[in-house]
Every structure is written in C-alpha cells, then in structure tokens.
Amino acid sequence: MRILLVGAGGVGTAITRIAARRSFFDRMVVADWDLARAEAAVAAVDDPRFAATRVDASDQQGVSALLTEHDCDVLMNATDPRFVMPLFEAALESGTHYLDMAMSLSRPHPERPYEVCGVRLGDEQFARAKEWEASGRLALVGMGVESGLSDVFARYAADELFDEIEEIGVRDGANLTVDGYDFAPSFSIWTTIEECLNPPVVYESERGWFTTPPFSEPEVFDFPEGIGPVECVNVEHEEVLLIPRWVDAKRVTFKYGLGDAFINTLKVLHQLGLDRTEPVSVRSQDGPVKVSPRDVVAACLPDPATLGERMHGKTCAGTWVKGVKDGRPREVYLYHVVDNQWSMREYGSQAVVWQTALNPVTALELIATGAWAGTGVLGPEAFPPLPFLDLLTAHESPWGLREQ
C-alpha cells in the first residue's frame, strides 16, 4: 500500500509515529502546506518508507497530481474539515481510496437552526456515493476516534451484545490539565469551535435527525479508569449522522465533557464574533488585510501538538448503549482510555492526538490486508467490528467494556 498523508499537524505527525511501527504499507508521502512541518514529521521516524513534500490541501488539481506522481493507493486526510471536499474529490478524480476523520461541513438551517437540520455533516460526501461506487473505490469517512472507534463500538454492540437497542450515546470525557494555560484546547481550536457552537444533532427513529441549542441536555457521566464523573453536553458530531445509517437504534446522541469554563470561553468567542470564518478587514502596517477571526484565535493559542509535556491525566472515548439482550434490560459502556504520560513516553505525542491517529492507521491496515473491503462512501459501522478491535489489542492498545 502506498499512502498520501495530507496534514502534518498533531494528528498527522502521530499517524507517522504509529505507522512507522507497522509493516502493512510500502510508502507514506507526508504532505503539508508547511514543508518544514512535513519534513519534521518524516525526520522523527527515520524510516526510508516516508517522504515529505509540500501541498495546498485546497488545491484539488495539485493534490490529484501528487497522488498520480507517487502512484498512491489511498489518500489519508489529516487536515481540518475545511479541506474535506477538495481532498475527497481529488481522490475520486485520481482513482484512489480515501479516508478521513471528520466529514464535510454542515450549515445550520437559515430560519430554525435549533429545531431543523440544514446541510448536515457529510451530506456533500454522501451525495457523491454513486460516483464512488462506480469508481470501485472506497471513501471511508469519519474514521478517527470520535467518530471512528466510537462507531466500531456501536456496530459491535449491535452485532454481539444486544437484540434491541434503545439508545446509543457516544460519551467523551477526560481529566486532562495543561500546566501554564487557563485555556488550551488539546485538539484543533478550529474544529472545536465548529463542532461545539454549531447546533447539535440528535437522531430518533420516529423523528429522524433534528437539532437542539448548543450545550443542551447536560448529564453527569462517570468515566472509567480514574477519570470519574464529568458533566457532558450535546455537541454536533459525525456519529449521530453515521450510526443510524447502519445500526438500528431508537435514539443516537453525542455528548462531550467540556466543563463550565471551557463552555463559557466558547460562548464569549461567539458573542464577540471570533468564531466566524468569513474574512474581515484588519489594518496592518502594509495596509488593510483580510483575515478570518477564527484563524486569529487559532494563531493566538498554543499548538495542541506542542502541549504534551505540559499535559497530565487521561482521555476517554467511548460508546454507551442501552437496550435488551435475551429479554432482559442491559446497559454497557465500551471505551478506550489513553494516559498522556504513556503516549508521550512511548510515541512523543499527547494523548488526544495519539488516540485520534491510532484508528485511521488501524483502518488502513485492515484495508491493506483485505479484512475491510467495500466501495462507495461508507462509515466505520459498515464494516465487521471484530477485526478492528482485535487489531487494537494486538498492537497493545486494548479497549474496555463496562456493564452499567
């Protein structure tokens, strides 16, 4: 397998460090708009299978040319969601497979944003499903940790643990702290703002997909392995759009443990208009320049990839499922926990980006061996879950199951 990895930020760099320990691929070309960043990611693994180059992820033709030049079999998208569609289309145009961790962007309903869906996450990609099927190629979308591993857990629960499912609720929580910062997101602030301030989506079988106000339906969820109780709220996320396509459940939700201080900061950014992506005119010594307020926020905050030495604690991604098995009520929480000290010691990557990166590498290995195969635009729950979960364990990153 020959892979073009686009994006050498925190997650992209973690992908190279995880993949370097595996033998399923022959070549990985690491491409980023910042050549120095791509070169640093390659230099860190010291493996002749890796090479660095520069690419503009918004340049569909340039990406297509790169895929052809390096005779790649698959494009691995490790950029933020703004670049999903040009990369997705470049892979289709070039006849390669495609894999991402976040789907094409949503747009709120113009009149009833907190009741009715507008353009949903992934709608633009699923609109191209027939073209992907005709190409004989696979576009595996939403294959990070959440979405990604959480969706694999949902499919596993449906296949192995339940006869009927009342609710699938993805629950994400952590007890991570960052020394020296009052506000330092452990993941891309661009993506964090997008998913936290957009109207959250909920699925109910009798109603379909609908939206609620941001941070709605707070609940306290008790996370395993010492993390403990964390208040979680509704957040827009891909699982709610993916799971109901392949798993029969009466209700699907996604809730994130953000904390009051984090939520208040996001609300202030929104009140000040600093979450907007449309460029505004700003004075500079060279005259007026156009800048995106959200990009300014991102530039002012520390790069999440650099926070590992200052971070302490654990992060947990998981899927809570409630239903019936053999005529009896059952509740379980399937989960994956990463300790930041461990991921930094073993890989030099902080826990959140390492946990995210682990899953697309695992999926690529399954595709390379033929354990996962398909055509069209598919989510993680479209594939058998056991090969994925077994491979996690084989690579010393076990998952857990807790009866509730």
Q: What is the pLDDT of residues 35-70, one digit of tens each?
A: 999 999 999 999 999 999 999 999 999 999 999 999
| DSSP letter string, 137-163 | -EEE-S-BBTTBHHHHHHHHIIIII-S
Report whether the peptide linkage leading into residue 147 is cis, meaning its omega lies within 30 degrees of zero.
Answer: yes
In this structure, what token pair is assigned to residue 1? 């397998």
12 or 180, higher pLDDT = 12
| Percentage with pLDDT > 90 across the chain | 83
Query: How many residues are there in the chain?
Result: 404
In this structure, what token pair is assigned to residue 109? 């309903």
SS3 350: coil
CB under 8 Å to 284, separation ≥6 — which residues? none
In the predicted model, is pLDDT for residue 317 greater than 90? yes
Tell me what pLDDT residue 220 has. Answer: 95
pLDDT in tens, 115-154: 999 999 999 999 999 999 999 999 999 999 999 999 999 9
In the predicted model, is pLDDT for residue 164 greater than 90? yes
Tell me what pLDDT residue 384 has. Answer: 98
In the predicted model, is pLDDT for residue 286 greater than 90? no
Task: Report d(CA 146, CA 381) in Å as an integer.
Answer: 12
In the predicted model, is pLDDT for residue 188 greater than 80? no
Give the closest residue to 63 by CA, choosing from 40, 92, 41, 36.
92
In this structure, what token pair is assigned to residue 135? 């190409």
Rounded to 10 degrees, the C-alpha dihedral 313/357/78/269 comes to -20
Tell me what pLDDT residue 183 has. Answer: 82
Are 340 and 311 within 8 A, CB to CB? yes
Give the closest residue to 85 by CA, choosing from 116, 42, 37, 119.
119
In the predicted model, is pLDDT for residue 6 greater than 90? yes
* Least trusted range by pLDDT, from 59-68, 147-156, 273-282, 371-380: 273-282
Task: Report d(CA 293, CA 276) in Å as an integer.
Answer: 6
pLDDT (mean) for 198-221: 96
Tell me what pLDDT residue 277 has. Answer: 87
Look up tokens 């602030």; give the residue.
189
Are 302 and 184 within 8 A, CB to CB? yes
Tell me what pLDDT residue 184 has. Answer: 79
Tell me what pLDDT residue 304 has. Answer: 82
| Helices 351-369 + 340-347 axis angle, to 10 | 60
Tell me what pLDDT residue 263 has. Answer: 85
CA–CA distances in Å: residue 185 to residues 31, 72, 302, 317: 24, 34, 8, 16
CB under 8 Å to 300, separation ≥6 — which residues? none
Mean predicted lDDT score pLDDT of the chain: 95
In this structure, what token pair is assigned to residue 258? 């953000």
Q: How confident is the model at residue 96 (pLDDT cuts 50, 70, 90)?
A: very high
